[in-house]
Structure 1
Amino acid sequence: MTAANPTITHTTCPYCGVGCGVRAEMQGDAVTLSGDPQHPANLGRLCIKGSRLGETLDLSGRLLHPVLGAARVSWEKALDAVADGLQQAIREHGPQSVAFYGSGQLLTEDYYVANKLMKGFIGAGNMDTNSRLCMASAVAGYKRALGADWVPCRYRDLEQTDLVLLVGSNAAWAHPVLYQRLAEAKRQRPQMQVVLIDPRATASADLADLHLALRPGSDIALFNGLLHWLHQQNALDQAFLQQHTTGAEAALAAAAGWDPARVSAETGIDRDTLTAFFHQVAQAPRMMTLFSMGINQSSAGTDQVNAITNLHLATGRINTPGNGPFSLTGQPNAMGGREVGGLANQLAAHMGFSAEEVDRVGRFWGSDNVTPAPGLNATDLFDALADGRIKALWIMGTNPLVSLPDADRARQALARCPLVIVSEVMQETDTAALAHIRLPALAWGEKEGTVTNSERMISRQRAFLPPPGEARGDWWIISQVAQRLGVGAAFDYAHPHQIFCEHAALSGFENHGQRAFDISALATLTQEQYQQLTPQRWPLPAVPRSERAFWHPDNKARLLAVNPPVLPEAAGYPLTMNSGRIRDQWHTMTRTGKAAALMRHTPEPVCVLHPADMGEMAEGDIVCVTSPRGWLLARAKADPGQPCGTVFVPMHWNAQFSAQARVNALVEARVDPVSGQPQSKQTPVRVARWPAAWQGELFLRGTEAAPPAVGYWSRVTQPGVSDFILADRTPLAEAEAWLQRLCGGGLLIQQAMMGAAHHLLGWRDGALQAALYLHPQRVPVLDREAIVAAFTSPPPDAAARRALLAGRAAGEQVARGTLICSCFGIGELEIQRAVAGGCDSVEALGTALKCGTQCGSCRPELKKLIHSAAQQPA
């Protein structure tokens, strides 16, 4: 390979369900990643997480060898131990004592093999996935309304619609590439209207012509009221209802009591605003509703999805360009996992558990042991762990002790399980800490397979890096265990291509156009054709079939009668906690936490409150958020866009990155009765100041340092340095001695008192070993980049050392402030200076500083800074 002849690999991003194409260019050992301009999902654009994937590819912290107990073992020994453990559980307690728990980040081929082994040959339905926590209600809602797990929209509809309802989705941060596509569509067609329906004024409010800040949990009241009003105004499509639907009479009867006055009282939206919104919907020729976790993650999530589908069916705005209810998928392959039966209430290829379907799958797989019934979903599975029904659990590519509700109880339940097997990329996760057997899996960039995005587009993930250490593909690991269980003939795979073709063939097996999912046209791909496969949107039947609008046996859609949920209340917990993603992080940070650039925007867990709810708390205080189930510590942040009476806490922090910030330890395991999806959005909490005796920030040489034993710490990823934000309730009387103990003694200490602050530098042989910045009330404002750089390039003179001791860069270098644009490293102070210098638009800032010109995620914050400056007196 030469510099003039690089190797280029086209692959797919491993983050959200937008499914962006990524172009990986290898020159020697160096890889350059960029958006793939040929991929239809993103047309070359990447968000900040995707553009920083290169920073997550190093092998630090990776699990590279099988581990049994605490000992490294061979693959043979590890696989034998897995198979022996599963066989013992089945022999002594039956197949229902075994369960698999997968991930929406597995590839379809991995998922297929796991589901086939559990449901087809072990003979139990206990294969579920973390998609239960994000997409189950969307699936159930679609199936009830449309007859199949069928997303009736595609991304290009955004360019053709007239009205977009963005419901329970902060797409600007959670699906930024799709959000920027929507923003571009609005720039091209300014008459397009966007309505944000969300309790919070999130970053997505930047694009909205109207923000309906409804009360948490009142979505059904709003949509019922809208449906009833449209009916009263004769604005429903009666011809469509009669020809293509059933259930309208019951749905309209349930909505009939929701007149504007009652909707206003329930939602908190004033009546005039509601009426104007209702007229807006009635007058729009084409309408799309984009919804995500704010709808799905509810004990009434399925009904909320059906409230949305009711609206589209009643107005006939579905299955035509620019129309439809569009579920924005949370994970890269949640849909691919559902295609192969990754949820416990599915069999395979979108089949269920009727006798006919069980027989069909059994004949295809050559097994007479196919489970005849659904298994345990995620929350039921951990209940079964707690009461001892599950004796062996295999967890693949996910971190349930952070992501499950009532996470502390889930940890206790998992600790009771006699055999816990974890297939993982990283050595240390909250879940892996309780594993008896750890199996090293391939990571993104190393594995081969397919994923399916939000618009039903199948794309290839391709390897451009060699397998590190002894890591192997999940499909290979599962197949090797299957061979040891005596069913190897059905798992004799040498390449993911064979698995994909089998999966495709099953999708068309005895289908006859009755099942929506059919990719049988791809079942005869050669390995070379599989390697070259371009993005394909299903259905892709081998035998041409007539197009169907809906998938119920009568070819009609269903409207459902739905009613608002009863929200949980708890005496002594006056606030309602919402949880979700922040801009630059992903899930439980096992990948994004490795990228220093992704830690700069929000370096520690935060608790966002409305200023009126701050009480005696001040901006920047550490606060304790408590629910009836648990508590966490986070940094208080006041935001007038946060509704009064509510708080927002991000979902990402785990035990590797913070002392006590696992938000799901506070969340009740309260689930939707139809989908089994937990309610993660309305948790009763109270918030109080955590009285810290001191706060500070500690920098230590090397990246493997353990956090100090203090009440509050949060790790901030830095190159070559361990960086901790700290606080404790006990005074730090001897800071110099404490720092010496942390570093093993022998440091030459340089220190200074700067007002109330106490700053210390620790040197050894002329090299900086530690830097500690303390303050009795707050975290000192520091130039982290300058401090981290000093560990590699020591200050050249006394003036530079004094600047380092003060926590800033030497010379005339101007501070950047809080990072706003992660793509180009542009800080708040730089932006404020540019605005003061005449940059009065986002475009002007982009020309001057480049901020906002790549992924676009920071554009809402840039607008806020411009607006704030305009409000200042001259």
Structure 2
Amino acid sequence: MVETVKTQCPYCGVGCGLEASPPAQPGRAVNRDKDGIPIWGIRGDRNHQSSLGQVCVKGATIGEVIHRNRLKHPMMRESLDQPLRQVSWDEALDAIANQIRHTLATQGPNGVAMYGSGQFQTEDYYTAQKLLKGCLGTNNFDANSRLCMSSAVAGYAKSLGSDGPPCAYEDLDLTDCAFLIGTNTAECHPIIFNRLRKNHKKNGQTKLIVVDPRATDTSKFADLHLQIQPGTDIDLMNGIAHLLVKWGKLDQTFITNHTTGFEQVQEIVTSYTPDKVAERCGITAAEVELAAQYWGESDRVLSMWSMGMNQSSEGTAKVRTLINLHLMTGQIGKPGAGPFSLTGQPNAMGGREAGGLAHLLPGYRFVANAQHRQAVEEFWRLPAGRISDKPGLTVWDMVEAMETGNLGIFWVAATNPAVSLPDIDRVKAALRKSPFTVYQESYFPTEMVEFAHVLLPASQWSEKAGMMTNSERRVTYCPQFRTPAGESRADWTVFAEVGRRLGFVREFAFNNSAEVYAEFVRLTRGQLCDQSGLSHNLVASIGAVQWPAPRGKIPDPMKTTRLYLDRQFPTPDGKARFAAYHSRGLAEPPDGEFPFVLTTGRLYGHWHTQSRTGRIDKIVKMHPNPFVEIHPKSAEKMGIVEGDLLEVRSRRGAGRFPAMITKRISPGTVFVPMHWGALWADQSEANAMTHELACPESKQPELKACAVNITLVAQILRKTESVEAEKEFVGTGKSLWNRLVEGLRRPI
């Protein structure tokens, strides 16, 4: 009988340790789901340093869904207007290899593109990089981390010299001032927040500052909630910097010895007085001053951020402006302090280490750096110049390339861009133009199936072995402990097999994922993210380990590692870089025609586009339907009552949602959760409204804010004076209207 196995949760970037127990246990009845299928028991691993035995509802219920609604066999069709038919793996893989050959011959390497996911294990990421960037000579690999963490990647690299969060979760226990901005940590990273909250309750001197346009489950515990207007983050942070300079709350020794560029920041923040910042942000001058006081008087300041900062047209500028505050006060490279990006996905960090964005190479290298390209080419034994010196297409570039006919093959794996990308109607239209789309997925159906020419069944968490790295740089071995569903295969094996069919037999002579990882870690040797001392066997035997973990110097898994304790940074002169930015505000501010700002985000129980969580009864009951939060003043002015069906419309499209009237949201701002696609509710896609305008440095779209107007659907229906029109608008089956009639409302 299989014993209890230790693994990592496959949901968010907290990377909680889990213990999975087989359904049959001595002396216990077999645990079965509603269909009578035995399910694995899941509990927190108390010995995993990242989570210490805690687990949220998503992790606790993962055993209920890993067998449900699975894609079990390869399927194909010649055109999207035909039905999918079951085929063999050989037929599907030959078709993919032939299409790649045809594309290389007719369009060149840039006609091939792959869009991957932070759901990948590191071995999946690495094999895909070797296939595309190495063997095929195209950097057209991007991942849904582009929508999640690319601004954090750019901010760390430009300010500190390299990607890589310098902090650790132990700092949550040690800080005396936590500055949370653009993160609803209590709902999106609950185990982290529980740990921070414990420190906050135990130590009466610890201050918690939360910056968020919404009043959230995070802000309710804050000593100071700064409910700023969307798009004013830089104004606030420059205003805090202004006061720190004015009050002399600077670490001048650190600034002089370990940084460059402070003079430019000092000059810019001069104009960010408390009164001006308060007016711009929609808060009071006293609140700005109190935030600066908390920061300036604290010995150990820990900042944390997530999508609210990153998903912005000035995302990199926001991240670097926050890092400025740490540099000017010396709040980095010591316990309890530092700028801490909270990663969104379970292995987004591992993806960054493996080079899993269009401008990256494995080992925190960049495609634009000639020495980095040469090092990887030599390691992979490729001809000089094989790796392109130009960054590849980002995912939005791929959308535009499909629109213009410049992609011959679009390969999507472990993600659902038919829901998650901005301006989703435009994305769907582009997908319909793709001549050959491969979709590699575990669940069936998802919204992306509609646009696939080839469907490949992928083994998921529990069915394959590999590594994942969480937000604190802790690497966990995730073993296989279940038989793969149907004919599903691990993602890395699919990439490797296509590579072999294209003639790259030597390059993909891997027998198992342990060999893939062993090759990858050799490529990290000497880099900031050095993992050359790690292996599957080692991590499985001693437990999850933080990097850096160079060969011969494996850190104690029970102890914490931090970066920059010596105050030396991986820049040419060893110094961190200040960056001076003025606030530009929203890319699409509200106006007379579209007077509201729409912001989007996650809910506690759901995950991304519901491919997993939408199939778990407990979570569906917790979050049964989408909604739009609107402030009572706005609702009263428009004659809206609780539960009214509202149309939220931008310049790109519209969605329809029941009204939730709440003071959680600021007047003039509305909130819609991002989880619902066409499979889960009618006309309720948050990304029907969002735009693609992105940060010029990180290329991360501003998914967090766009201009919209609000209309009562009842008013639209009355204008049509047609019963048929009412049927068209309201719909049948799973429509929002029927959900409301049935009383399925989310509690306020």
List gaps (5 residues or longer) in structure 2: 25-37, 78-83, 555-564, 718-725
RMSD: 2.0
Equivalent in the alignment of 1:727: 737
Give the superposition deviation at 1:681.
1.5
Tell me how far 1:117 sits from its aligned partner: 0.3
Q: Higher mean Cα deviation, 372-381 or 531-540?
A: 531-540
1:294 is the counterpart of 2:311: no
The Cα of 1:286 is off from its aligned counterpart by 1.1
2:407 corresponds to? 390
**What corresponds to 2:31 in structure 1?**
none
Once the 2 structures are TM-superposed, how far is the Cα of residue 371 of structure 1 from its aligned partner?
2.4
SS at structure 1 position matched to 2:294: helix
Tell me which residue corresponds to 2:380. Answer: 365
- 1:395 Cα shift? 0.5
| C-alpha distance after superposition, 1:493-531 (max 9, x if no partner) | 1111001110000111xx3xxx31111112xx4x64464
Q: TM-score, normalised by structure 2?
A: 0.91
- Deviation digits for residues 119-165 of structure 1, max 9, x if unmatched? 00000110000000010001100111100002011000011111111
Query: Aligned AA for 1:521?
Result: G
SS at 2:250 equivalent: coil
Helix, strand or coil at the partner of 1:691: helix
Compare relative contact order (CA 8 Å, sep 6+) and give the higher one, 1 or 2: 2
> Could you say if the C-alpha distance between residues 533 and 571 of structure 1 is closer, same or farther in structure 2, counting changes exceeding 3 Å?
farther
User: Alignment partner for residue 37 of structure 1, among 40, 46, 49?
Assistant: 46
Residue 64 of structure 1 pairs with residue 60 of structure 2:
no
Q: CA deviation at 1:781?
A: 3.8
**Aligned mates of 1:651, 1:683 — CA distance in 2:** 14
Give the Cα separation in 2 of the matches to 1:714 and 1:475. 41
In structure 2, what is the Cα distance between the partners aligned to 1:389 and 1:52?
42
- 1:643 maps to 2:666: yes
Q: Structure 1: how far apart are the matches of 2:288 and 2:23?
A: 57
C-alpha deviation, 1:714, in angstroms: 9.1
Letter in 1 for 2:399: F
Give secondary structure in 1 for the equivalent of 2:22.
strand
Q: Does 1:453 find its partner at 2:449?
A: no
Asked whether the equivalents of residues 574 and 686 of structure 1 are also in contact (C-alpha less than 8 Å), the reply is yes
Identity of aligned residues (%): 39
Partner-residue secondary structure (3-state), 2:158: helix
Quick one: distance in 2 between partners of 1:43 and 1:501?
Answer: 28
Structure 1: tracts of 5 or more residues without a match: 695-707, 716-723, 729-772, 783-817, 821-860, 862-874
How far, CA to CA, are the matches of 2:290 and 2:92 in structure 1? 64
Residue 683 of structure 2 corresponds to residue 660 of structure 1: yes
The structural deviation recorded for 1:597 is 0.4
What displacement does 1:543 show?
6.1
Q: Does 1:516 align with 2:531?
A: no
Query: What TM-score does the superposition give when structure 1 sets the normalisation length?
Result: 0.78
Following superposition, the deviation at residue 427 of structure 1 comes to 2.2
CA distance in 1: counterparts of 2:468 and 2:650, whole angstroms: 37
Pick one of 583, 586, 607 that aligns with 2:604: 583
Equivalence for 2:235: 221
Match of 1:8, as an amino acid? T
Q: Which amino acid counterpart does residue 19 of structure 1 have in structure 2?
A: G
Change (3 A) 1:103 1:119: same
Once residues 688 and 673 of structure 2 are traced to their aligned partners in structure 1, the CA distance between those partners, rounded to angstroms, is 13
Deviation at 1:601, TM superposition (A): 2.1
Q: Report whether the alignment pairs 1:679 with 2:702.
A: yes
User: Which moves more between the two structures, 204-213 or 302-311?
Assistant: 204-213
Change (3 A) 1:693 1:547: closer
Equivalent pair of 1:129/1:342 in contact (CA under 8 Å): yes
**Corresponding position of 2:613:** 592
Residue 575 of structure 2 is aligned to residue 556 of structure 1: yes
Q: Distance in 2 between matches of 1:259 and 1:141?
A: 25
Q: Cα deviations across residues 25-45 of structure 1 (Å, max 9, x unaligned)? A: 114354111011111111110
Answer whether contact 2:682 2:735 (CA < 8 A) is retained.
no
Using the alignment, how far apart are the partners of 2:228 and 2:382 within structure 1? Answer: 52
- Report the counterpart of residue 544 of structure 2 in structure 1: 535
**Cα distance, 1:551 vs structure 2:** 1.0
Match of 1:603 in 2: 624
The whole-number CA distance in structure 2 between the counterparts of 1:267 and 1:714 is: 43
Q: Distance in 2 between matches of 1:674 and 1:630?
A: 27
Matched, 1:52 2:48: no
Match of 2:640 in 1: 617
In structure 1, the residue matched to 2:558 is none
Identify the residue that residue 24 of structure 1 maps to in structure 2. 20
- After TM superposition, the structure 1 = structure 2 runs for residues 463-862 of structure 1, keeping only pairs within 5 Å, are 463-508=480-525, 511=526, 515-522=527-534, 525=535, 528-529=537-538, 531-532=540-541, 534-542=543-551, 549-567=568-586, 568-569=588-589, 570-614=591-635, 615-691=638-714, 711-712=729-730, 724=734, 727=737, 779-781=741-743
Bigger radius of gyration among the two: 1
Query: How far apart in 2 are the matches of 1:308 and 1:693?
Result: 44
Asked if 1:209 is matched to 2:217, the reply is no
Q: What is aligned with 1:265?
A: 279
SS at match of 2:437: strand
* Aligned with residue 344 of structure 1, among 334, 358, 362: 358
Shift of 1:384: 1.3
Deviation larger for 561-570 or 483-492: 561-570
| Alpha-carbon contact 1:126-1:377 (below 8 Å) kept | yes
Q: Where does 1:302-381 land on structure 2 (aligned, <5 Å)?
A: 302-353=316-367, 354-368=369-383, 369-381=386-398
Distance 1:100 1:547, change over 3 A: farther
**Match for 1:592: what amino acid?**
T
Secondary structure of 2:411's counterpart equals strand
Alpha carbons of 1:27 and 1:402: their partners in 2 closer, same or farther (altered >3 Å)?
closer
Partners of 1:30 and 1:665 in 2: CA distance: 37
Q: Deviations over 1:763-784 (max 9, x none)?
A: xxxxxxxxxx9xxxx61448xx
Return the alpha-carbon distance in structure 1 between the equivalents of residues 257 and 149 of structure 2. Answer: 30
Correspondence list, 1:181-196, <5 A: 181-196=195-210
* Other-structure match for 1:197: 211
Letter in 2 for 1:559: F
Q: Which one has a larger percent strand, Structure 1 or Structure 2?
A: 1
Which shifted more, 159-168 or 354-363?
354-363
